[in-house]
């Protein structure tokens, strides 16, 4: 044992590579194509152009137009092609160019992609990893920013993930691609260009890639978020710390299945919870999370679960995004409400 420990002490730490989320996803896709001959990447402009956000940049040149190729502007056709390829034993990794363009493909996603494994009693598993650039924050026109997680999470047969940083994007995408089930991989567009350290050599076991993670420990309340809202909640926690308030930030990561145990553990410690998401308030994923927290932590909660969300209006175009997306002030007011709550 002492020899093993001595060897560990002498091992130099693996250096972190500074990558944007866009670069981290690109690397992950390249490694998936290298390791899995069945993997195919396709979608609108993903080949020659390398994608609107350049996430697939250079992949067609490396792996050829038979494995990375452009499709017509027809999202239903893209998903129909993916389903047929999966039935034939391939591993499709299609891209919907913007989340708002996913609506034409919803019929294929719900009635075929999510059900085929169940319908065939396991004879036709759907190993499809659907990449969806998601959420707002880039001041794009209408239909180029949406928050569709509650729609996808509601559908049995689908798994839904949303990374918040480059390290997660790299490892979660590779993990999602290894699953036999269809995974909706929601990439926060607003975080594509933010760089952070990524350990490409990290041999993370499956358990470490499941469920939620604590992005920042705290004791007075738990901020629950995913995607781009994790970064915003970390900013809120920094500001609150200046006033002596220690907020825990729980990065949900997986939106289906939701990590009920991780939720309960965090909120049981802090006794207060605020859910932050970009989707509309009514029937948003925050409502499901609030129900789970209330069920698991009823005896320990000091205040009702607060939700800071988008509004019950269509996701606006870029000039109104700042009014719609939860900002730091709105989240701080949510924190204030749970901290000052007094039972009548």
Q: Is the pLDDT of residue 9 over 70?
A: no
Catalytic site positions: 144
* Model pLDDT, residue 142: 83
For the stretch 171-198, pLDDT in tens is 999 999 999 999 999 999 999 999 999 9
For residue 227, pLDDT over 90 is answered with yes
What pLDDT, on a 0 to 100 scale, did the predictor assign at position 123? 92
Q: 45-88, pLDDT tens digit by residue?
A: 999 999 999 999 999 999 999 999 999 999 999 999 999 999 99
| Helical residues (DSSP H) of the chain, grouped into ranges | 2-10, 21-35, 59-63, 75-87, 106-108, 116-119, 149-153, 166-178, 228-241, 260-270, 285-297, 321-324, 328-340
What pLDDT, on the 0 to 100 scale, is given for residue 153?
Answer: 97
pLDDT the model gives residue 13 = 58
What pLDDT score does 8 carry?
42
Q: What is the pLDDT of residue 143?
A: 83
What is the pLDDT averaged over residues 316-320? 87
Q: Token digits for 277?
A: 């998401």
pLDDT class for 344, splitting at 50, 70, 90? Answer: low
Sequence-distant (≥ 6) Cβ neighbours of residue 169 within 8 angstroms: 21, 24, 25, 28, 163, 187
pLDDT bin (cut points 50, 70, 90) of residue 12 is low
pLDDT at 150 over 80: yes
Q: Is the pLDDT of residue 262 over 90?
A: yes
What is residue 7's predicted lDDT score, i.e. its pLDDT?
Answer: 42
The pLDDT of residue 67: 98
Do the strands 273-276 and 306-308 form a parallel or antiparallel pair, or are they unpaired? parallel
Exposed, middle or buried: residue 12 (CB in 10 Å: 0-12, 13-18, 19+)? exposed
- Which distant-in-sequence residues (6+ apart) come within 8 Å of 2 by Cβ? none
For residue range 76-123, list pLDDT tens digits in order.
Answer: 999 999 999 999 999 999 999 999 999 999 999 999 999 999 999 999
Cα distances (angstroms) measured from residue 224 to each of 58, 93, 112, 120, 237: 36, 29, 32, 37, 12
Of the candidates 68, 19, 61, 60, the one whose C-alpha atom is nearest the C-alpha of residue 40 is 68
CA distance 89 to 104: 25
Question: Does residue 136 surpass a pLDDT of 90?
Answer: yes
**Average pLDDT, rounded, for the chain:** 93
Under 8 Å between Cβ of 253 and 164:
yes
With CA atoms as reference, report the closest residue to 135 among 318, 8, 328, 338.
318
For residue 238, the model assigns a pLDDT of 98
Q: What pTM was computed for the model?
A: 0.93
Q: For 332, which DSSP code?
A: H
**Nearest by Cα to 190 from 330, 321, 28:** 321
CA 334 to CA 112: how far, in whole Å? 40
Residue range 205-217: mean pLDDT, rounded:
87
User: b/e string for 146-168 if b means 16 or more Cβ within 10 A?
Assistant: bbbbbbbbebebbbbbbbbbbbb
Q: Band of the pLDDT at 205, cuts 50, 70, 90?
A: low
pLDDT value of residue 201: 79
Nearest to 189 by CA among 253, 251, 135: 135
Residue 77 CA neighbour count, 13 Å, CB half: 8
Question: Where do the domains of the chain lie, and which CATH numbers do they carry?
Answer: 17-209 (3.40.50.970), 213-340 (3.40.50.920)
> Are residues 142 and 155 in contact, defined by beta-carbon separation less than 8 angstroms?
no
Say what the pLDDT of residue 319 is. 86
Extract the tokens encoding 158. Answer: 């689908």
């Amino acid at each position: 044992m002492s020899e093993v420990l001595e060897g560990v002490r002498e091992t130099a730490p693996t250096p972190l590579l500074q990558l944007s989320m866009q670069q981290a996803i690109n690397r992950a896709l390249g490694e998936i194509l290298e390791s899995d001959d069945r993997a195919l990447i396709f979608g609108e402009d993903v080949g020659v152009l390398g994608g609107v956000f350049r996430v697939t940049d250079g992949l067609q040149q490396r792996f050829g137009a038979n494995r990375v190729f452009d499709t017509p502007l027809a999202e239903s056709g893209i998903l129909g092609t993916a389903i047929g390829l999966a039935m034939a034993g391939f591993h499709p990794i299609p891209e919907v160019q913007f989340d708002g363009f996913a609506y034409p493909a919803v019929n294929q996603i719900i009635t075929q992609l999510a059900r085929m494994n169940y319908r065939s009693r396991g004879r036709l598993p759907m190993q499809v990893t659907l990449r969806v650039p998601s959420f707002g924050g880039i001041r794009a026109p209408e239909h180029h920013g949406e928050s569709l997680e509650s729609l996808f999470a509601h559908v049995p047969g689908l798994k839904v993930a949303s990374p918040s940083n480059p390290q997660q994007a790299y490892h979660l995408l590779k993990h999602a691609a290894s699953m036999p089930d269809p995974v909706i991989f929601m990439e926060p567009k607003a975080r594509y260009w933010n760089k952070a350290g990524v350990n490409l050599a990290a041999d993370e076991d499956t358990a470490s890639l499941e469920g939620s993670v604590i992005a920042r420990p705290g004791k007075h309340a738990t901020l629950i978020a995913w995607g781009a809202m994790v970064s915003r909640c970390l900013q809120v926690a920094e500001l609150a710390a200046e006033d002596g308030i220690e907020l825990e930030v729980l990065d949900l990561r997986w939106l289906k299945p939701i990590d009920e145990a991780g939720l309960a553990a965090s909120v049981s410690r802090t006794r207060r919870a605020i859910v932050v998401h970009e989707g509309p308030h009514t029937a948003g994923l925050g409502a499901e999370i609030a129900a789970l927290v209330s069920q698991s932590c009823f005896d320990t909660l000091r205040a009702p679960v607060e939700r800071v969300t988008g509004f019950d209006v269509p996701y606006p175009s870029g000039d109104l995004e700042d009014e719609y997306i939860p900002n730091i002030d709105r989240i701080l007011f949510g924190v204030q409400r749970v901290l000052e709550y007094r039972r009548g």
